[in-house]
């Protein structure tokens, strides 16, 4: 496995899925949230997941979804893991983990050091935490807003579970974000798009290259 784990989220087309896989993404994310411009139907998701299977981990991103709907995604799309990006409780996460027997990643919104305390509750039940910026006021989306937070907050963070950094990352800042946060896993959605919800193949390639080269430099 690569030394930095890279997730490209919100893929909606075969071309951009292929680009993410060919670039060497470790995880690819499918968004099941109708308010998102990256939302995919179950049939689209099945096709995209089949392309990725065996090449990258398929992540199903959901927001406060009930267990029945999660079950349908699990049966039809067969993701490798779930990303919970809403206000799911630790109990709901534990229930999904037991029901599906798959790893779960919980997003935690960060704007100050205090928010990192919330992460400790989720670290008990989730397999990985995902740190994202708080959404701007009035946003319909709890994530995928292209907004970043102070990466220095994560430096020297002592948690029992690994974390992934997200929020406002793009090819031009991912190197600095990795250095400042100490992250060993990064996630991007809007930073590799040319329009809202429309992924850009060149930006996907540039993001993966920038993230990988940063680790090589940092590790010298
Ligand atoms: O991408 C979306 O549309 C989305 C919708 C609802 C919840 C989360 C979503 N995306 C996740 O948000 C973060 C940050 O995204 P960005 O790079 O700042 O655009 C990332 O983890 C996505 O997986």
Name the residue at shortest CA distance from atom 23 of ligand 1: 9
Which ligand 1 atom sits nearest the alpha carbon of residue 192? Answer: 17
pLDDT tens figures, 49-84: 999 999 999 999 999 999 999 999 999 999 999 999
Q: Which domain holds residue 146?
A: 5-218
On the question of pLDDT at 193 being above 70, the answer is yes
**11 in contact with ligand 1, CB cutoff 6 A:** no
Let me know if 68 is exposed, middle or buried by CB neighbors in 10 A (0-12, 13-18, 19+): exposed
**171 in contact with ligand 1, CB cutoff 6 A:** no
**ipTM of predicted complex:** 0.98
Q: How many domains does the chain have?
A: 1
Which ligand 1 atom sits nearest the alpha carbon of residue 148? Answer: 18
Token pair, residue 123, equals: 């670290």
Note the pTM of the prediction, 2 decimals. 0.95
pLDDT tens figures, 79-117: 999 999 999 999 999 999 999 999 999 999 999 999 998
For 161-182, give the DSSP string. S-EEE-SS--TTTHHHHHHHH-
CATH of the domain at 146: 3.20.20.70
Q: How far is the CA of 95 from the centre of ligand 1 (A)?
A: 23
Let me know if 220 is exposed, middle or buried by CB neighbors in 10 A (0-12, 13-18, 19+): exposed
132 assigned to active site: yes
Residue from 64, 166, 177, 200 to probe ligand 1 pocket by mutation (most atoms less than 8 Å from CB):
166
Asked if residue 25 lies in contact with residue 8, where contact means CB atoms within 8 angstroms, the answer is: yes
> Which is it for the CA torsion 14, 17, 18, 19, positive or negative?
positive
């Amino acid at each position: 496995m690569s030394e930095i784990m890279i997730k490209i989220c919100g893929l909606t087309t075969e071309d951009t899925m292929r680009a993410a896989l060919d670039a060497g993404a470790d995880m690819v994310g499918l968004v099941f949230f109708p308010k998102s411009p990256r939302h995919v139907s179950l049939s689209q998701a099945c096709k995209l997941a089949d392309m990725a299977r065996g090449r990258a981990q398929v992540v199903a991103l959901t927001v406060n979804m009930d267990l029945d709907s999660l079950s349908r995604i699990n049966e039809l799309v067969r993701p490798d893991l779930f990303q919970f990006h809403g206000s799911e409780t630790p109990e709901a996460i534990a229930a999904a983990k037991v029901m599906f027997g798959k790893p779960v990643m919980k997003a935690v919104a960060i704007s100050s050091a205090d928010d990192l305390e919330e992460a400790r509750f989720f670290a008990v039940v989730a397999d990985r935490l995902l740190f994202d910026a708080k959404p701007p006021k009035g946003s319909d989306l709890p994530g995928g807003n292209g907004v970043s937070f102070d990466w220095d907050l994560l430096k020297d963070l002592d948690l029992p579970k690994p974390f992934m950094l997200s929020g406002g990352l793009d090819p031009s800042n991912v190197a600095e974000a990795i250095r400042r946060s100490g992250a060993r896993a990064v996630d991007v959605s809007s930073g590799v798009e040319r329009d809202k919800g429309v992924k850009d193949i060149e930006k996907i390639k540039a993001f993966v290259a920038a993230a990988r080269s940063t680790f090589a430099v940092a590790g010298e």
